[in-house]
């Protein structure tokens, strides 16, 4: 890591295996990441990513989303936090689509309860960037506006498809089922929609005849482990420019002179993965 780069404080939010978290930890341990994982938070107990955090000596926490959303946990957290105008929040959000306004508001309130707990933990670690890495929860504008304010975008996600194709939870499955010949992964900023925020980086991999979802998941994950840390390095070095197109969407420009060489490396990497030549059909 060159001395001119900042080392970013990363909070990593997970729900499962945490192999992207591991990629951050590995890159940090070899000096290849301009960042330090300062906290790991899972939305459930039992996520293997929590074990990875413990092994690396990283503080880790659980916000039990399922219990909070079921209403089993005290739903008065909002009362102890800043007051939240739920109707206003509902107008801004683009993740809940239930046509029944009362049901939508109830769900939103519980999500905000969970987010209050999340924010309470996160703020003690003063993260520069919040990295969603397999975090299977949608964030409301209540959470996002806290970290994406004053022109700064501080919440990142890695998505297992070439957005805007295949948003949602099953990027690899959807890519395979559609019959795509190339799949991809995306690292993007998180906005009020589902997987709709400004795209920072993408990489692609081929799908070979006979591939199943596990083959393409493994191929895609190898790219996720390369691209996500690279994006952190670009952010630390000030190479990520966000441009506001007034009548359009925010767009990201990477100003790293090495950008073409890095993208070429990702293409080569995806082609070097083993080719499956048999047809299982």
| CB of 122 vs ligand GRF, minimal distance in Å | 19
Distance CA 269, CA 266 (A): 5
Provide the terminal-to-terminal Cα distance of the chain, rounded to the nearest Å: 47
Distance CA 94, CA 104 (A): 11
Q: Where in 159-198 is the site for ligand GRF (CB under 6 A)?
A: 159-160
Q: Among 8, 12, 13, 16, which residue interacts with ligand GRF (rule: CB under 6 A)?
A: 16
Residue with tokens 């929860």: 137
- Least Cα distance to 171 among 199, 163, 179 occurs for 163
| CB of 88 vs ligand GRF, minimal distance in Å | 29
Whether 229 contacts 173, CB under 8 Å: no
| CB of 77 vs ligand GRF, minimal distance in Å | 26
Whether 33 contacts 24, CB under 8 Å: yes
Q: Which residue is nearest to ligand GRF (CB)?
A: 134
How many residues bind ligand GRF, per CB under 6 A? 14
Q: Where in 35-54 is the site for ligand GRF (CB under 6 A)?
A: 49
The three-state secondary structure class of 27 is: helix
| CB of 251 vs ligand GRF, minimal distance in Å | 22
- HSE-up of 126 (CA within 13 Å, CB side)? 0
Task: Provide Rg for the chain, Cα atoms.
Answer: 19
**Residue 229 makes contact with ligand GRF by CB under 6 A:** no
Per-residue x/- track, 116-135, ligand GRF (CB under 6 A): -----------------xx-
| CB of 188 vs ligand GRF, minimal distance in Å | 11
Q: Which of 61, 142, 159, 188 is catalytic?
A: 159
Q: Which is nearer to ligand GRF, 165 or 237 (CB)?
A: 165
Using the contact rule CB under 6 A, the part of the chain among 14-22, 116-124, 174-182, 196-204 near ligand GRF is 14-22
Q: Residue 253 contacts by C-beta under 8 Å, 6 or more apart in sequence?
A: 241, 243
Q: Among 8, 11, 12, 18, which residue interacts with ligand GRF (rule: CB under 6 A)?
A: 18
Distance CA 254, CA 40 (A): 27
Q: Is 159 a catalytic residue?
A: yes
Whether 178 contacts 215, CB under 8 Å: no
List residues binding ligand GRF (CB under 6 A): 14, 16-20, 49, 133-134, 158-160, 221, 224
* Residues carrying an active site annotation: 159
């Amino acid at each position: 890591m060159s001395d001119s780069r900042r080392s970013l404080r990363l909070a990593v939010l997970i729900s499962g295996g945490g192999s992207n978290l591991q990629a951050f930890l590995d890159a940090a341990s070899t000096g290849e990441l301009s960042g330090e994982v300062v906290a790991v938070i899972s939305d459930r107990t039992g996520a293997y990513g929590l074990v990875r955090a413990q092994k690396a000596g990283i503080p880790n926490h659980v916000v039990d989303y399922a219990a909070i959303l079921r209403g089993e946990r005290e739903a008065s957290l909002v009362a102890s936090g800043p007051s939240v105008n739920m109707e206003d929040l509902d107008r801004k959000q683009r993740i809940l689509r239930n046509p029944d306004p009362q049901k939508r508001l109830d769900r939103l309130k519980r999500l905000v309860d969970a987010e209050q707990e999340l924010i309470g933990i996160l703020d003690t670690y003063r993260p520069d960037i919040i990295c969603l890495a397999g975090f299977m929860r949608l964030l409301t504008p209540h959470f996002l506006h806290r970290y994406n304010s004053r022109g700064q975008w501080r919440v990142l996600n890695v998505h297992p498809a070439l957005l805007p194709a295949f948003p949602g939870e099953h990027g690899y499955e959807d890519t395979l089922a559609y019959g795509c010949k190339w799949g991809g992964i995306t690292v993007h900023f998180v906005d009020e929609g589902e997987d709709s925020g400004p795209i920072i980086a993408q990489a692609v991999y081929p799908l070979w005849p006979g591939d199943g979802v596990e083959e393409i998941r493994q191929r895609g994950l190898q790219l996720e482990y390369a691209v996500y840390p690279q994006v952190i390095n670009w952010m630390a070095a000030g190479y990520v420019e966000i441009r506001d197109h007034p009548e359009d969407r925010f767009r990201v420009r990477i100003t790293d002179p090495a950008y073409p060489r890095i993208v070429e490396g990702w293409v080569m990497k995806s082609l070097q993965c083993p080719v499956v030549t048999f047809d299982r059909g």
